[in-house]
Structure 1
Amino acid sequence: MKKAIVFDNSGTLLERYRVIKDVSTGELFTDVNSLHLIDSMDSLALVVLQFNTNCLLNLDSNTLISDVIKQHNIDFDVSFTSCETTKEEVTDILENENQATISDITDGFTILKEKIPKMELCNGPAVIIDINKNKIVYTITSAGKLFSEVIDTIKILQSRGIEIYIASGDRKGAINKLAEILNVNKKHAFGTVSPKGKCKVVRCLKDRGYKVMMVGDGLNDVLAFNNADVSVLTVEQEEEVSPKLINKTDYVIQKISEVISIDF
């Protein structure tokens, strides 16, 4: 039987570093899980902006994020939400928001550069909007570096004839770059997909006759876990894991290389 493994990105393939800023108070957080934050409330949505944050350094830091989105026609996708919403509703909020500025994104740069000087992977901005309040409540700046055994693990799996896919809520450009680094077919790399989108990737592979393993670390992987033949939770990121996730997985691994030993 044909086999495929679908990997999440941040926290699974990439050691993730994230800075979250509370727009109303100006407080910066490095130890808050954005998905848990959204899951704890009933009107929040994680919106990934499809551009590289480095371009913001050339703009006035006091410029509204909403103005940048409109002036540069920046696309976006909702990757995780605790409520039902539409792209039209999110567009209206993003284009008319009048509080969050570029500095709310770039203020996290200094912290990230201490951890990852080049900030080459997963470098992109996101915002958390409150659907009920019609505003941006948090900004997120993130970067990452591959866990040490990722490249060798992917090579071994590919040598066994297992097809590798990536399905992540992260920025599309970063996922395409990751696919290139890992020698994964870019047609097998899906960026800024929602939990339903990850589930769709798994289902499509199963419909094509594949036996599918899903490997992830976050709440946005639960639906894909439920539909995969084998689900694997990786805790290499060393963040608190939601009970909702632990109860939905077949295996828990400490390092990504342990995937090699799972027979499916």
Structure 2
Amino acid sequence: MAKRIAVVFDSAGTLLHMYRVAKEAATGRILENIESTAIVAKKNGCGLVVLNAENETILRSREEMLLFEFIEEYRVPIGISCSKGELSLETVCEIIKGTQLRMGDVHEVLHAVSARCPNIFYLAAGLIVDSKARDVPYVLSTGGQVFATTLETLRALQAMKVDTYIASGDSMRTLSQLAEYIGIPPERIFALATTTMKEEVVLKLKNKYEKVIMVGDGINDILALRAADLGIMTVQQGDKRPEKLKEAADLVLDDIIKVVDVVKGL
């Protein structure tokens, strides 16, 4: 007999309140509170690329070192968190190799987030890659801290015998600390999940559970929200969200704790 309910959570902006900074490669400007998935969604061939390296390793690197040299020398895995249209890792590597981006650019955004985000829970670095322009227009860093009601929400659901999952574009390295804190086992974490992969996670879980709920806040959650038996969009992050994302959701909640009442109602 199928288990009754599973709840799949996005991470950044849903479980974690995020602070994001981008450095515009063309001008050197630092842009605060940017929405990386929204930037990607504006143009075909764009993708959000994650550098899967420890921050200590990044910050120990020489500022003048080329980014591609760092990736090669330290054998840094990179992942495509989300993209609009087709984008391969091979293409990403070719584009990064053709730029003059240096580790000092990555250091700058990491330091900017650390300075502005108190009680930081995790810190990550990445890039926006434009395969049409063959360029990297932005270097990014994001920092997150759990929302005040995140832990309470997960504990309440788990006490109700609801199975909880994470499907996120973040790396496993980043997500493992969060999952341990909120009580989600590693086998229920789907890291580096693209928009399509999140949808696939939901569809597979629907074969195992009577009802699958997807909880997310970003445009990369849109297919999973539509695929779920119940799609919940959270607006706790406070950023402006596309109207089509709200239309894809069955419910829009201003606090993640309200997911508990929704599940009780089922």
Q: Which residue of 2 aligns with 1:143?
A: 143
Q: Is the 8 A contact 2:10 2:215 kept in 1?
A: yes
Q: CA deviation at 1:152?
A: 0.9
| CA separation of 1:112 and 1:233: change in aligned 2, threshold 3 A | same
1:113 and 1:77 map into 2 onto residues whose CA distance is: 23
Q: Which residue of 2 aligns with 1:59?
A: 61
Q: How does 1:117-156 map to 2 (within 5 A)?
A: 117=118, 119-121=120-122, 123-156=123-156
Q: CA deviation at 1:54?
A: 2.9
AA aligned opposite 1:22: E
Provide the aligned length of Structure 1 versus Structure 2. Answer: 262
AA aligned opposite 2:121: E
What are the Cα deviations for residues 208-250 of structure 1, in whole angstroms up to 9, with x where unaligned?
A: 2341000000000001011100000000000001112011001
Q: Which residue of 1 aligns with 2:16?
A: 14
2:180 and 2:173 map into 1 onto residues whose CA distance is: 11
What are the Cα deviations for residues 119-177 of structure 1, in whole angstroms up to 9, with x where unaligned?
A: 332x1111111102222211111111000011111000001110000011112211111
| CA separation of 1:89 and 1:111: change in aligned 2, threshold 3 A | closer
Q: Which residue of 1 aligns with 2:41?
A: 39
Q: Which residue of 1 aligns with 2:31?
A: 29
AA aligned opposite 1:60: R
What are the Cα deviations for residues 153-207 of structure 1, in whole angstroms up to 9, with x where unaligned?
A: 1000001110000011112211111111111111101221101111111111111
1:21 and 1:53 map into 2 onto residues whose CA distance is: 17
Q: Which residue of 2 aligns with 1:181?
A: 181
1:160 and 1:189 map into 2 onto residues whose CA distance is: 20
Q: Is the 8 A contact 2:17 2:237 kept in 1?
A: yes
- Secondary structure of 2:170's aligned partner: coil
TM-score (norm 2): 0.94
Q: Which residue of 1 aligns with 2:195?
A: 195
Give structure 1 stretches of 5+ with no counterpart: none
- Secondary structure of 1:165's aligned partner: strand
AA aligned opposite 2:108: D
Q: Which residue of 2 aligns with 1:215?
A: 215
Q: Which residue of 2 aligns with 1:79?
A: 81
Q: CA deviation at 1:51?
A: 1.4
1:176 and 1:210 map into 2 onto residues whose CA distance is: 27
1:234 corresponds to 2:243: no
- Secondary structure of 2:206's aligned partner: helix
Q: Is the 8 A contact 2:109 2:139 kept in 1?
A: no
- Secondary structure of 1:110's aligned partner: helix
- Secondary structure of 1:83's aligned partner: coil
TM-score (norm 1): 0.95
Q: Is the 8 A contact 1:97 1:136 kept in 2?
A: no
| Mean CA deviation greater in 104-113 or 74-83 | 104-113
- Secondary structure of 2:166's aligned partner: strand
- Secondary structure of 2:222's aligned partner: helix
Instruction: Give me the identity figure in percent.
Output: 29
Q: CA deviation at 1:118?
A: 5.5
Q: Is the 8 A contact 2:110 2:124 kept in 1?
A: no
| Mean CA deviation greater in 80-89 or 194-203 | 80-89
AA aligned opposite 1:198: K
Q: CA deviation at 1:33?
A: 1.1
- Secondary structure of 1:15's aligned partner: strand
Q: CA deviation at 1:97?
A: 2.7
- Secondary structure of 1:246's aligned partner: helix
AA aligned opposite 2:38: H
- Secondary structure of 2:6's aligned partner: strand
2:254 and 2:209 map into 1 onto residues whose CA distance is: 30
Q: Is the 8 A contact 2:45 2:87 kept in 1?
A: no
Q: CA deviation at 1:83?
A: 2.0
1:143 and 1:21 map into 2 onto residues whose CA distance is: 15
AA aligned opposite 1:54: E
